[in-house]
Amino acid sequence: MRKVRVVVLAGDGIGPEVIEQATRAVDTVAPEAGLDITWQPELMGGCSIDAHGTALTDAVLDTCRSADAVLLGAVGGPKWDTTDPNAPRPEEGLLGLRAGLELFANLRPVKPLEALYDASPLRRERITGTDLLVVRELTGGIYFGKRGRTGDTAFDTCTYSRDEIARLAEVGFRAAAGRRGRVTSVDKANVLESSRLWREVVMEVATGFPEVTLNHMLVDNAAMQLCSRPAEFDVIITENMFGDILSDEAAMISGSIGLLPSASLGAGSNGLYEPVHGSAPDIAGRGWANPMATVLSAAMMLRHSLDAADAADRLEAAVERTLADGARGRDLGGEMGSAEIGDRLVAALG
């Protein structure tokens, strides 16, 4: 058996509920994959603010650096909402984790399942055949630029370097080479200088992938096209803020944000895996949360960080089979809670 250590950051709200079912599902497939997994729980987010006064301590960050992977539930909630720029916020822990682990590429796959086509806000004929991947830059751009206020004026600076753009583009092109061979690079090059550099560097990277077709698209047009013809996209690469917005839009194609996983990767094998949904404080503690997005995030962890692609395939197939058999959480108009969905998934894995 191969021993691996995964740091578990259950976080806030429904985070602990979905994490419980995800680790349970992984433990079901781990032995056959030859994995002996140690789950190491740590605090990050609002719970860490309550305990330590900061969303991410240096000790937890060091623990994450030395682990084989990090599995995250969700962070945030109204308890910690504030407009005080000096007050700690749960989201700072997530940004600090991405920067501290040098995780520069966020992968969000969107592939609606046939059993849920009618749950999508888009018509069935629009989403049929959709299988896209959003590759979002994570550690640059406006979220990490200089910011401040002077009197009645506020500013946020969007800055990108050539190297930051190139390494993200390479992730996207490599992914497309193993898929359908199409990259759509999203920018705002008609207005923003940072986007003009983005487009220039992406075209340079494209020369190293002659088998991949590159298309450029302005972000406003991309937002429209994701609603009107999502099946035409293969891999979308884009900067931090644009990716944040577009990936949430794309998530709704599946019918529920409770079904979308994500992976944040860097140069090494250590990665951060988390569901796209938030902490949902309005239902926290009720056992209603759908754990499937977290289970699918754990599948991405098995594939990208733990070298267990067959186990990842099993988890993904179990989610699809469970949905096809009629399992529905409240996010999909059903009545099943976290534990019952977890039971169904484990049964499907048997």
- Supply the angle between the helices 292-304 and 309-324 in degrees, to the nearest 10: 160
The reply to whether 248 belongs to the active site is: yes
CB-count exposure of residue 223 (10 Å: 0-12, 13-18, 19+): middle
Query: Closest Cα to residue 46, out of 12, 70, 92?
Result: 12
Catalytic residue status for 273 = no
Selecting among 12, 68, 160, 188, the annotated active-site residue is 188
Structure tokens belonging to residue 281: 């404080």
Has 27 been annotated as catalytic? no
CA distance 91 to 88: 9
List of residues 6+ apart from 183 with CB closer than 8 A: 172, 173, 176, 206, 212, 213, 214, 215, 234, 235, 236, 237
Catalytic-labelled residue, pool 12, 68, 117, 143: 143
For residue 143, indicate whether it is catalytic. yes
Cα dist. 215→47, 70, 173, 229 in Å? 43, 33, 12, 15
Across the beta sheet with 271-275, the strand order is 35-41, 2-11, 69-74, 271-275, 261-265, 105-110, 132-137, 235-238, 182-187, 213-218
Q: Which two tokens stand for residue 164?
A: 């930051």
Round to whole Å and give the CA distance between 290 and 337. 7
Q: Which of 50, 62, 163, 220 is catalytic?
A: 220
Active site annotation includes 220: yes
Active site residues: 143, 188, 220, 244, 248
